[in-house]
Amino acid sequence: MKAPKMPEGQICNVCNQKSANHLTLKAGQDKPIYRCCKCYILEGGYPAKQHPICQKTKTKMSKKAKEVFVRLGFKDIVVTKEESENGEYNTSASYLIGYEDAEGNECEEDGTYLNQNKEDECT
């Protein structure tokens, strides 16, 4: 059986967000599964040395953020222009949305990037 080719512009079948770079077809499977580098690595695939996107993804997934930022949300309020200019309203009510690094990549409170295996952490 001839191996199927990767269609141009194929989207990852797992996360449905990123461009697929990996194609797998297991015995007894009718259709191939297309995965982006991140989903391929998360499912146990080994990043190929000749594939720079895989290498970059694996490196990023195994690092911790140098500095962690907290993303906060606030309740929307509508005030008059005068109230806005005079600061006559309270905006202290906030809620936690999540944590991220300086580039906006989501991470845990301790800086561990989301969706990485614990044994891959750099300490």
- Residue boundaries of the structural domains of the chain: 1-62, 64-114
Task: Give CA–CA dist 40/26, Å, rounded.
Answer: 14
Mean pLDDT per 10-residue segment, the chain (123 residues): 66 82 78 84 78 78 81 80 73 80 86 61 33
Q: What's the confidence (pLDDT) of residue 14?
A: 85
Q: What's the confidence (pLDDT) of residue 3?
A: 56
Q: What's the confidence (pLDDT) of residue 41?
A: 81
pTM (whole model) above 0.75: no
Task: Give CA–CA dist 75/48, Å, rounded.
Answer: 46
74-90 burial code (b ≥16 CB/10 A, e <16): eeeeeeeeeeeeeeeee
